[in-house]
Amino acid sequence: MNETLKTIAERYTCRSFTGTPVKREELEAITLAGAQAPTAANSQRFRIIVIDNKDYIDELDARMIAIFESQNPGAMDRIRDRGGKALYNASAMIFLAVEHSGPWSADLDGGIVIQNMVLAAHSLEVGSCINAMCRVLFEGEAGAEFKKQLQFPDGFDFCCGILFGYPTDFGRPHAPATDKIIWL
């Protein structure tokens, strides 16, 4: 198996990080991989917003917990089962913003940007977790204010979050869904 196929086969979702800061050059390589992703008609309707301030990520974690505790007990149970932290002690986080314009799905482009970044991270032995649950941070008036703080350009919406850090949880990749492959 070549290195690319090995990285794809071995990547897994990490849900427990050491909290040690991710090296700047590693984050730069990860974001560069994202920026190299193909997009529909090379439209590049995405922004990769990087946060590498662990204290700020912990603050966002607390904000998410407060929202889930009051509004979503099911999500809170899942978080408790996974160690009690909504953002798993990540030391870096990316918010991917996309612009929903034109005939092609910006979320599809966003997914490819994300996949490039998590594969790049894995190849550097940096753990990652694609995180849609952080969508709650963008809800309501507080969410609109948060979007401003993150400097989303006008017309851009939240697509997904991605967490990064050095793993304490060395998960295993899921079995490939080969039963979903249909040969005619």
Binding site for ligand FMN (CB under 6 A): 12-13, 15, 129-133, 160, 171, 173-174
User: Token pair for residue 140?
Assistant: 């309501």
User: Token pair for residue 45?
Assistant: 């309707």
Which helix H or strand E contains 93, and what residues bound it?
Answer: strand 92-99
Q: How many Cβ atoms are within 10 Å of 56's Cβ, its own excluded?
A: 12
Q: How many Cβ atoms are within 10 Å of 159's Cβ, its own excluded?
A: 24
User: What's the length of the chain?
Assistant: 184
User: Token pair for residue 102?
Assistant: 């034109």
Shortest separation between residue 160's beta carbon and ligand FMN, angstroms:
6
49 vs 130, beta carbon nearer ligand FMN = 130
**Burial class of residue 160 (count of CB atoms within 10 Å of its CB; 0-12, 13-18, 19+):** buried
